[in-house]
Amino acid sequence: MRTYIKKVYTCFPGGKHKALTMSYDDGKHEDRRLVELFNKHGIKGTFNLNGGLEGDPVRIPQAEYKELYKGHEVACHTISHPTIARCPLTSVAREVVDDRMKLEQLMGYPVRGLAYPNGSYSKEICDMLPQLGIRYARVVGNSESFDIPEDFLRWKATCHHNYKLMELGRQFIEDKKKQYLRLMYVWGHSYEFTNNDNWNVMEEFCELAGGRDDIWYATNIEIVDYMDVVKMAQFAADNSFVYNPCVQSLWLAVEDDKIVEVKGGEIVQL
């Protein structure tokens, strides 16, 4: 007699199947306006900063970081923003670790993400990053995809905000296929809105995508950490129960419509 195996799908927190994350580089003064816009619409961003460029008049003073970026994520962008694929690996390591240490002193939490400066990286750099405490790294370009990346150290965003943002945003909003996890990832530099006189682009996107009950709004590291929780889940062979060995809750859809939260350290019957 064949044993019945329950159909179990992984969900994002809250039982949702869609997530939105944003990533912005360099920490220039326009970040203030962008953070205000994100906060207004309940959107979370990751801000990639250079700890060694304090004093540059176009950049936000580091004394403001902790309060300005509260509720968002601060991640590395190297200490001085070199084109790292051209640099010796030892200096790349210093660029990343020194940036981590400076930002961690300012923010008070482990800084574990990176946006490659100038989009520059190599296989050797990617291989080294986990030993430097970096869990994910963003490349440049537009994937036009809502898929979860297979390699978080070569994480390509869905789109830059100047590339098909509203078109892809509408596709994302209208996606109702709950058998898939969908992630929209937007990147850029906040000063580009001033340079191009197009703040309306982000204002319209936030109006479209913000404040929705079916989307999980997350920072880059929150997505990476949650997918680690998913990987650590231990299921019975017939999916009749699951053990979550992590501290963070795991969310599942059982037989399509039953949403189950599995809290850290619990065994839950499905």
Domains of the chain by start residue, with CATH: 17-219 (3.20.20.370)
Q: What is the mean pLDDT of the chain?
A: 97
Per-residue pLDDT at 1 exceeds 60:
no
Q: What is the pLDDT of residue 178?
A: 87
Burial class (CB in 10 A: 0-12, 13-18, 19+), 167: exposed
Q: Is 4 helix (H, G, I), strand (E, B) or coil?
A: coil
Of the candidates 36, 96, 103, which has an alpha carbon nearest to the alpha carbon of residue 65? 103
pTM reported for the whole predicted model: 0.96
Q: How confident is the model at residue 2 (pLDDT cuts 50, 70, 90)?
A: low
Q: 136 forms bridges with which residues in the sheet?
A: 113
State what percent of residues in the chain have pLDDT above 70.
Answer: 99
The mean pLDDT of 168-192, rounded to a whole number, is: 96
Q: How confident is the model at residue 69 (pLDDT cuts 50, 70, 90)?
A: very high
Residues 6+ apart with CB under 8 A from 35: 45, 47, 68, 69, 72
Cβ-contact 88, 53 below 8 angstroms: no
Per-residue pLDDT at 42 exceeds 90:
yes
Query: pLDDT (tens digit, 9 = 90+) per residue, 210-249?
Result: 999 999 999 999 999 999 999 999 999 999 999 999 999 9
Q: 9 forms bridges with which residues in the sheet?
A: 253
Distances (CA, A) of 145 to 26, 131, 185, 212, 217: 25, 29, 9, 20, 17
Q: How confident is the model at residue 256 (pLDDT cuts 50, 70, 90)?
A: confident
State what percent of residues in the chain have pLDDT above 90.
Answer: 95
Rg, Å, the chain Cα set: 20
Type of residue at 231? K
Q: What is the pLDDT of residue 73?
A: 98
